[in-house]
Amino acid sequence: MHAPASAPASASTSACTSDSGSADAPGSAPTQAELLDFARRTAADAELIASLPLDPEGRTWVRLDGPGGSEAWLIGWPPGTGTGWHDHADSVGAFVIAAGELRENSLAARLPTDGWRTLELTDGVDRARRLPAGQGRSFGRHHVHEVLNTSADRHAVSVHAYHPPLPQIRRYSRTGQVLRLEQVEHPEAWQ
């Protein structure tokens, strides 16, 4: 966590922001577009972005209140850090880069949700995106990806939002075209 865009690697502090988007009505779940809009507006909040403590070695994060009961995170990425391959189970999400640049590697394939430990991926499923400050994306359920700060000398900062709040994160290892489920994390591991 992306923190949870993936669960974060080291904790920092907690803070909250409020959002007055249309998804705040009781019982309404925010759409991917609303999560992306929230992430964009939050990433443009220079004061909030500057308040995130940056660690030279490990990711730092601050938990935010997202729209419509979603879970949101402000994450600092030191040079050379990343999430590893993972998904967000049944949650949809979005993230936007506030500073620096991140790379997202993802799979353009629908994977089975349960009952497997190893999958052989077909050719042509890999996608890669470079996302500079101001850019972002949304994604649906079971989206498998990894997010990386490939810079050798510059931190990146990003905003992530998920709905429903992350029930779990499945972590994978990858060797060539073989994807292997390694671990299932639950919220208590990153909150």
- Calculate what percentage of the chain has a pLDDT beyond 70: 85
- According to DSSP, the β-strands at 101-107 and 126-132 are antiparallel
pLDDT at 111: 78
How many Å apart are CA 149 and CA 126, to the nearest integer? 18
- Residues whose CB is less than 8 angstroms from the CB of residue 21 and which lie 6 or more positions away in sequence, other chains included: 30, 34, 37, 38, 67, 68
* AA identity, residue 67: P
Question: Model confidence at 29, in pLDDT bands (50, 70, 90)?
Answer: very high
Output the pTM of the full model.
0.84
Q: Is the peptide bond before 164 cis (omega within 30 degrees of 0)?
A: yes
How many Å apart are CA 162 and CA 91, to the nearest integer? 6
pLDDT in tens, 92-129: 999 999 999 999 999 998 777 777 889 999 999 999 99
pLDDT at 91: 94
pLDDT in tens, 143-180: 999 999 999 999 999 999 999 999 899 999 999 999 99
Mean pLDDT of 50-65: 95
At 133, give phi and psi (nearest 5°). -50, 135
Neighbours of 115 (CB within 10 A): 5
- Residues whose CB is less than 8 angstroms from the CB of residue 79 and which lie 6 or more positions away in sequence, other chains included: 149, 151, 152, 153, 154, 155
Residues in the chain, total: 191
Higher local confidence (pLDDT), 9 or 81: 81
